[in-house]
A and B are shown apart, each in its own frame.
Chain A
Amino acid sequence: MSEQRLREELRDASVPGASEAEERAWLIVADAWAERAPTPGVRPWLRRRLAAAGAVAVAALVAAGLVLTPAGAAVREWIGDAIDPGRNDAKPALTRLPADGDLLVSSAAGSWIVHRDGSKRLLGEYSQASWSPHGLYVAVASGRELAAVDPKGELRWSIERHRISDPRWSPNEGYRIAYRSGGELRVIWGDGANDEALARSAPVAPAWQPRTGRRNVLAYATPDGEVRIVDTDTHRRLESGPDLGRPLELEWSTDGSRLLVLTAEGLTLLDPAGDVVARDRFGRGTSGVDAEFVPGSTTVATIRRSGSSQIRSEVFLTRFGDRVGERRIFAGSGRFEGLAYSPAGDRLLVGWRDADQWLFLPADGSGRTETVGAITGKFATGESASQAAFPRVEGWCCRGG
C-alpha cells in the first residue's frame, strides 16, 4: 500500500467547484488566445460558442440584475452595458442637481459648494475639502493650512502645519478631523483643539468608521501598505489588516460593517476585525481609479481604467455577498475621475475628465443619465482659468437643496 495509497488519495481528491472553475478559466483563456491570435474566424467562433452556451443564462442574469461569480473568479460579464464614445447631449449649464443634497467640489480656484438649484459658492482658495457629519461645516486644506469653514465660507478656525492634505471629518458624534501632514497622520478635534500625531501614513486619505457612537475609529494605510484600524482617542491599535500592496483608497460602508480597500489591482473588503471577507480582482491591464460604497449597502461602484495609448474607462457595480457579482453600468473613452453618490443613493456622479463632463448616472445603472458639460470652466475664476484642472468632487452631502 503506502505510496500507492497516497497516490490514489491525491488522484481522487476533488477541488470544490472544479467544473465551474474549468468553464470560467476556459472562457478567459480562449478570450486571451483570441486577442493574441488574429486568426480569421477565431473570435467569431468564440462568440458563437459563448452565444450558444450563454443565451439562456444571459436572459436569466439580465432578469436577476447582476451577474454572479464566485469569489476569486476573474470572469467578467457585460450585461446592461452603456458604452458611449462621448455624450453630445450634455447640458451647457449646471441648472439643477438631479438629486437632493449639496456637492462639495475642489478646483484650481478653490473649494466650492454646489446647491441643488445649481447655484454655487466659492468657500476660498483651498485645494481639498471634507463635509462635517451634517454638512454644517467643511474642513478645508491648502498647503500649510487646515481650517474649518461654514457653508458660506466663514472661517471658524485654522491651524498651520507642514504639507497638509486629505482632511476627513468623522461622521460620528465625536467630531474629529483626521488629516495628513507630510507623511504623518494627525487628528484634531472639530473645534480646532487637541491636534496630535497618530502614526506614519501612506499617501492615502484615512477613513473614519461610521456608527461607532462616541468612539473614534480610523482606518489608514501605513507606508508599508498595511491597513490599520485604530481608536484615535486612546491611540490603541484595534486591528491590523493584510498588506494589500499599495492602497489607493479606503472607505467604510455606511453601516460601518465593511472597510473597502481599493488598489490598482482590485477591491478588497475587510470586516472591522481587519480580516478579508471578499475580494474582486480587476481584469488584466485594468487599473482601479476610484471606488465608493452605494449608501446603505455593501455594493461598491468603481472606476476602472485600461489602455495606455487609447485610454478607456468603465464604471462597475460590484456586489459582495457569499459570491461576488459585478455589472458594468457605463463605459467610455478617456479618463473618468471621481465618484460620489447622492445622499439618498439614487444618483451616482461620475467625473468624465477627458470629455469635461459630469455624468449623473441612475444608481442602479438603468434609466436616464443626465450629463452636464464644460465643467472645468464652471469652477474656474479669472486667475485659475488658465490652469484648467478638472474639478474634483469631494462629497455629496446630506443637506437638502
Chain B
Amino acid sequence: METASGIGIERGVLGGTPVVFAAAPGSVDRREERRLVAAAQRGSEESLESLFRLHWPRALKASFLIVHDAAAAEDIAQEAFLSAIRSLDRFDRRRPFGPWLHRIVVNRAIDWTRMRKYRREVRFEPAAIEAGPGEGGDGADLAAAGLSDGLTAALADLSAEHRAVVVLRYLLEYTPAEIAKALDLPRGTVNSRLRRALDRLAGAYGEDLR
C-alpha cells in the first residue's frame, strides 16, 4: 500500500524532528489506481466511477478545510474532477492520479478564498469566528464538521495559504517537497508556512505541535 503521494513511509522534517508515519487511512493503492486510470482512458465509466469514489471524499474534505464552506467546497471539488477528466486522455498513468487532482483542488480552493476576501458574500456571525480574517465561509459549516472548538477557531484564524499547507501535509500526507511542487512555492516557504501554522494550532491545543 502506498500513500496518495506515492510514498509508503515518509520521514517528516518539520522543526528538525524526524516524524515517521505510515500510510494514511483512506490512502490509495497505486496499482489499483493505475488500472482504473487506464480503464477509464479506454472508455470504462465503471472505472471512472471507482476512481471518482476513491478520490472524491478526500478532495471534498481538503477543499472544505480550506474554504470552510460546504457548498463552495463541493463546487471546487466538482470542478476539479471535471477539469481532471477532461484531461484524462493526456494523463501519464505512470504518475499517481491523486496529487494531480489535489493540486487542482487546493489551488482552486485558495483562489476561491482569495476572491471571497474581496467579495463580501455572507454576513459574518461574530460568535462563529471571532478572530477570523474573513477569508473563509461563515464558520457555521466548519462548526458542524466535528472538529474540536480549538481547532475550528485556529483554522479559521489561518489564511487560506496556511490552511492549504496544513491540509496537504496532515490530511493528504504530502511531504513539504511535494507541497512545494503542488503550490509552486519554494520549499523553504512551505516549511515556514507549516511552522507558522503549527504555532497557531499549538495555541489551540495548548501544546507544542512540532
Contacts and interface: CB of A to CB of B under 8 A. Distances in A.
Given A9-B151, A74-B75, A29 B85 contact: yes
A248 interface: no
Contacts of B8: none
Contacts of A74: 75, 78
Interface residues of B, number: 55
A55 B37 CA distance: 31
B60 A15 contact: yes
Given A72-B75, A276-B121, A6 B148 contact: no
Interface of B is mostly: helix
Contacts of B14: 3
A16 B141 contact: yes
B61 interface: yes
A33 B82 CA distance: 8
A5 B26 CA distance: 17
A11 B56 CA distance: 14
A273 to B, nearest CB: 7
Interface string A238-249: 001111100000
Contacts of B166: 6, 10
Interface of A: 1-7, 9-18, 21-22, 24-26, 28-30, 32-34, 36-37, 39, 42, 45-46, 70-74, 240-244, 273-276, 281, 284
A3 B208 CA distance: 9
A240 B151 CA distance: 33
A196 B154 CA distance: 51
Given A34-B45, A242-B121, A15 B145 contact: yes
A21 B70 contact: yes
Interface of B: 12, 14, 19, 21, 24-26, 43, 45, 48-49, 52-53, 56-57, 60-61, 64-65, 70-75, 77-78, 81-82, 85-86, 118-123, 141, 144-148, 151, 166-167, 170-171, 198, 201, 205, 207-210
Contact of B71 (A9, A70, A241): A70
Contact of B78 (A7, A29, A70, A244): A29
A14 B147 CA distance: 8
Contacts of B12: 3
A277 B154 CA distance: 27
Contact of B70 (A17, A275, A281): A17
B37 to A, nearest CB: 13
A105 to B, nearest CB: 37
Contact of A33 (B25, B48, B123): B48
